[in-house]
Amino acid sequence: MQFAFFRRKCMQNGVVAVMALLIAVALPLAHAQNALAIPAFSRQYRTECSTCHTLYPELNEYGQVFLKNGYVYANKHAGEKGGEAPVPSGKPGQGQTQTASDEQVAGLMLSGIPKWIPLSLTLNQSANYSDPAPNGDHWGFTTRDLVLEGGGVISDVVGFYATYDLYRHDSSISQGGPSSLHELFLIWRRFFGTPVNIKVGKFEPKLSLWKKSDKIIVTSFATSSFQEGNSPFSLETAQDAVEANAVVANRIFMATGVVDRHGLPGVDAYGHLSVKFGGVDFLGNEPEVDFEKESIWDYLAMTLAVYGYNGRNIDPFGSGISNSFYRIGGEFDILYKRARVKFSCVSGEDSNPYYIFPETAGNPLVFASEAEYYFGSPVKVVGLFRYEYQNDGTALVRRFIPALAYIPLENIKVAFSYIHEVQPLDINRQLLLDVSLSF
Amino acid sequence: MPVILFLCLISTAAHAGLTIVGKGDNMRFDPSAFPPAMKASYEIMKVRCIKCHTLERTVVAITTGIAPISGQPFDRKATRAYGIKMLRKPDSNMNKQEVKTVVELMNFLLDQAAR
C-alpha cells in the first residue's frame, strides 16, 4: 500500500518535472529569430531546413523535388559540379567558382567522398495522456527514440539514405525496444543517361505521395499505417525492394518496383503515378508568373496521385498460412500560399488477413484528410485538423485530430495534438506532446 | 607606406563595379555607389532576404555567376526564377512589387559584376 502511494507520488512529481523541463527548454527558444539547421543534407548543401521543409520533417514543394531527383537539387545532371558553396573569385557567367579549400579537398572530390560525414541525429520525446487507460495509468512519457540518419549524394551519380533506430521505446511495448535499421538504400541517378533512377535496398515502396516521415505530427495518416487483420503489411512499412522511378515531361512522376516476399515464391509488385498542376514542377522549374498581374495560379499547386500494390505474405506467428492482398489508392495535395489540404483514400482486399480456416476475406476502406495552415513568422506555428475513417470490414474507427506545431528554431519542433478516436463500443482520447530535435 | 598598409588591412573585396564588405555570414554589398533607385531596392533586399538566409548567398551567386546550393548558372533567367520562388515561399512575406524590385536589383548587380 505504502509502495503504491509512493509510486503514485513519484509519478505525479515526474509529470511535473517533465513538463517543467519541456517548458524550460522551449521558452528560451521562443525568441530565437534565425538559425540554420544542420542535419546531413543541410550540412552537405549548406542550406537551411526551410529550403525543403515547412515544419520539419514535412516536405515543401522543393523538398519533394529534391527527394524525387535522388537528393540532388533541381535540374542537375550527373557529373555537374555543385552542392558546394563557391566563394567569389571571378565574373559571372565564367563559371570561375572555387570552394574555400579547393586544393585540400580536390582529392576527396575526385574520389566522390563527401567533405562532411553525412550523418545526423534526431531525438524525439513524447508525453501523453490517455483516457481510458489500462490500470488507470493515464500518463505516459516514456516514449522516446534516437535516430541516426545518413544521406547524401556522391558526385551527383549515386544517392544514399539510411535511418537507424539507435534507441526506441514505445510506452505501449516493453521497456527498451530493439535497435533496428529502418531504411538503407542506394539510388543510381539518371541510369545510363536516361531519366530513370534505380533505387535498391530497404525502403518504403513509392505508393503514397508522402513518406512516413513527411508529416508535421508524429501520428501517421491512417491510410499509410493501417494493417488489415494480423497482416503485417502497411503502405509505410520499409521493405526490401528494387524500384525504378522517373520524372517525365516535368510534371509526371512514375515509379514501379518489386518487393522480396521473404519465404514465399515470387515477388510483390507496385506502381505509382502522380501528376502536378501549377507550382514548381518535379524538376524544380518555377511556374511562369506575371509580376504585373495577380493570378490564382501564381500560388496554387495541386498534385494528384494513384497507386497500386499487389502482394502476398505469410502469417507472422508461424502457422504457415498465407494471405494474398492488393491495395489501390488515390491522393491529392493542394497548396495555396500558407494553406494546404491533403486527402488520401485506399481500398483493397485481403484473402485471409487473420490467417485462419476457413478463410475470411477482408475489404478495407480507409481515408484521411488533413487541412493545414502555416501562420509563419514571427511565430512559426502550423495549425492542422485531420479526419480519418478506417473500416477494415469488421469495425469502423473514426479519428478527429486537431494539432498545433511550433518551431522555435528550424531544427527543433514542439507539437501538441489531441486524438479523439471513436470506436464501435468505445471512445479513446489521447493528448500528445512531442518534442523533437535534429542536428 | 603606412597609409597603404592601413588600406590593405581594411580592404574589401572588389568585383569590377561592385564592392563587397564583410566575410562569411556578414558578407554583403556596399551600396554607397549604387544609383538612388537601387539603394532603395537594396534596403528591401537587406530586410526580406535575410529572413531565411544570409546575404553571403546572394553575394556569392552574383559575383560568381553560380547559385551556391544548386550549382546552376545564376543569370537573368535565374534571378527571375529565384524571384518567383521567393514570392511563392510562404514565409517570405514579399509581394509582387517587392519581388520585381529585388529582381531588377539583382540584374543590376549582375551587370555591375560583369563590368
Q: Any idea which residue has 546552376 for its cell?
A: B72
Using the beta-carbon criterion (under 8 Å), do B114 and A93 form an inter-chain contact? yes
Q: Are A218 and A266 in contact (CB under 8 A)?
A: no
Q: Give yes or no for a contact between A260 and A267, defined as CB atoms under 8 angstroms apart.
A: yes
Do the Cβ atoms of B91 and A377 come within 8 Å?
Answer: yes
Upper half-sphere CA count for residue A51 (Cβ side, 13 Å): 25
**Whether pLDDT at A114 is above 90:** no
- A376 and B100 within 8 Å at the Cβ level: the answer is no
pLDDT value of position B91: 82
**B67 backbone dihedrals φ, ψ, rounded to 5°:** -70, 125
pLDDT given for residue A48 in this prediction: 84
CB pairs under 8 A between A and B: 119
SS3 B60: helix
Q: Are A28 and A207 in contact (CB under 8 A)?
A: no
Longest Cα separation, chain A: 81
pLDDT at A3 over 90: no
> How many residues are recorded in chain B?
115
Phi/psi of residue A306, each to 5°? -130, 150
Which whole number is the average pLDDT over A274-288? Answer: 95
Phi, psi of A66 (to 5 degrees): -60, -45
Q: A74 contacts in B (CB within 8 Å)?
A: 70, 72
Which of the 8 DSSP states describes residue A290? -
Q: How far apart are CA A66 and CA A74, in angstroms?
A: 7
Confidence at residue A396, expressed as pLDDT on a 0 to 100 scale: 95
Q: What is the 3-state secondary structure (H, E, C) of B27-57?
A: CEECHHHCCHHHHHHHHHHHHHHCCCCCHHH
Nearest chain A residue to B70, by CA: A73
CATH fold, domain B2-114, is Cytochrome Bc1 Complex; Chain D, domain 2 (1.10.760)
Give residue-wise pLDDT tens across range B42-76. Answer: 999 988 888 888 899 999 999 999 988 888 899 99
CB contact under 8 A, B71 and A50: no
Contacts of B107 in chain A (CB under 8 A): none
CA distance B93 to B85: 12
Is pLDDT larger for residue A176 or for residue A247?
A: A247
**In this complex, do A92 and B110 lie within 8 Å of one another by their Cβ atoms?**
yes
Query: What is the average pLDDT score of chain B?
Result: 85
Q: Tell me which of A59 and A394 has the higher pLDDT.
A: A59
Residue A69 contacts by C-beta under 8 Å, 6 or more apart in sequence? A76, A189, A197, A247, A282, A283, A284
Nearest chain A CA: its distance from B65 CA (Å): 4
How much is the pLDDT for A437? 94
| DSSP string computed for A71-133 | S--TT--TT---SS--B--S-TTTT--B-TTHHHHHHHHHHT--SS--EEEEEEEEEEEEES-
Confirm if A377 and A393 have CB atoms less than 8 A apart.
no
Closest CB from B63, B66, B110 relative to A95 = B66
Q: Cell digits for A240?
A: 526490401
Using pLDDT thresholds of 50, 70 and 90, give the confidence band for residue A104. Answer: low
pLDDT tens digits for range A201-226: 999 999 999 999 999 999 999 999 99
Question: What are B's interface residues with A at a Cβ cutoff of 8 A?
Answer: 13, 15-16, 20, 50-53, 57, 59-60, 62-66, 68-75, 81, 83-85, 87-88, 90-91, 93, 96-97, 99-100, 103, 110, 113-114
Region A362-380 average pLDDT: 92
The shortest CB-CB distance from B16 to any of A50, A51, A91 is to A91
Please judge whether A299 and B91 are an interchain contact, meaning their C-beta atoms are less than 8 angstroms apart. Answer: no
Asked if A395 contacts A402 with a C-beta cutoff of 8 angstroms, the reply is no
- Number of Cβ within 10 Å of residue A422's Cβ equals 12
Q: Do A81 and B71 touch (CB under 8 A)?
A: yes
Q: Which residues of B touch A84 (CB under 8 A)?
A: 71
What is the rounded CA–CA span in Å between residue A88 and residue B66? 10
Comparing alpha-carbon positions, the chain A residue that sits nearest to B107 is: A92
For residue A298, the chain B residues in CB contact (below 8 A) are: 87-88
Cα radius of gyration (chain B) = 15
Q: Contacts of residue A89 in chain B, CB cutoff 8 Å?
A: 63-64
Interface test with A, best of B46, B52, B97, B103 (most A CBs within 10 A): B52
CB contacts, 8 Å: A91 with chain B: 15-16, 63, 65, 113-114
Sheet holding B13-15, edge to edge: B13-15, B18-21, B28-29
Nearest to B69 by CA among A287, A281, A62, A251: A62
| Tens-place pLDDT, residues A24-56 | 444 444 443 333 334 788 888 888 888 898 888
Q: Would you state the pLDDT for residue A74?
A: 63
Percent of chain B past pLDDT 70, that is, above it, reads: 86
What are the CA-CA distances from residue A343 to residues A92, A331, A332, A371 (Å)? Answer: 45, 5, 5, 9
Write B77-86 long-range contacts (CB < 8 A, 24+): B79/B103, B79/B106, B79/B107, B79/B110, B81/A285, B81/A286, B82/B106, B83/A291, B84/A286, B84/A287, B84/A289, B85/A62, B85/A280, B85/A286, B86/B48, B86/B49
> Which residue in chain A has the smallest CA separation from B53?
A48
User: What length is written for chain A?
Assistant: 439
Q: What is the pLDDT of residue A31?
A: 41
Q: Which of A63, A171, A83 is nearest to A434 (CA)?
A: A171
CA–CA distance, A260 with A239 (Å, rounded to integer) = 8
CA-CA distance, A41 to B93, in Å (whole number)? 26
Q: How far apart are CA A245 and CA A224, in angstroms?
A: 20
Report which of A324, A396, A331 is spatially closest to residue A361, judged by C-alpha positions. A324
CA A124 from centroid of its chain's CA atoms? 14
Q: What is the largest CA-CA distance in chain B?
A: 53
The cell for A133 is: 487507460
Where in chain B are the domains? Answer: 2-114
Angle B100-B106-B109 (CA atoms, 0-180°, nearest 5)?
145
Contact criterion met (CB below 8 Å) for A65 and A282: yes
The residue with cell 514501379 is A256
Cell of A352: 485471409
Percent of chain A with pLDDT over 70: 80
How large is the average pLDDT for residues B93-106? 93
Which residues in chain A are contacts of B72 at CB distance < 8 A?
73-76, 82
Question: Which helix (H) or strand (E) element contains residue B19?
Answer: strand B18-21
**Contact at 8 Å (CB) between A227 and A234?**
yes
What residues of chain B lie within 8 A of the CB of A285, using their CB? 81
Q: Is the pLDDT of residue A400 over 50?
A: yes
pTM over 0.90: no
Residues 6 or more apart in contact with residue A437 via CB below 8 angstroms:
A122, A123, A411, A412, A413
**A187-196 pLDDT per residue, tens:** 999 999 999 9
Q: Name residue A179's amino acid.
A: S
Residue A28's pLDDT is 40
Inter-chain residue contact A84 with B71, CB threshold 8 Å:
yes
Tell me if A80 and B71 make a contact (CB, 8 A cut-off).
yes
CB distance B69–A97 less than 8 Å? Answer: no
C-alpha cell at A162: 539510411
Nearest CA-CA partner of A235 in A224, A244, A222, A251: A224
- Name the residue in chain B with its Cα closest to that of A295: B96
Q: How deeply is A429 buried, as exposed, middle or buried, from its count of CB atoms within 10 A (0-12, 13-18, 19+)?
A: middle
Q: For A160-188, how does the pLDDT look when each residue is reduced to its tens digit (9 = 90+)?
A: 999 999 988 765 544 444 558 999 999 99
Query: Any residues with CB less than 8 A from the CB of B5 and at least 6 apart, and which?
Result: none
Q: Which helix (H) or strand (E) holds A353?
A: none
- Span of A67-76, A412-421, B86-95 with lowest mean pLDDT: A67-76
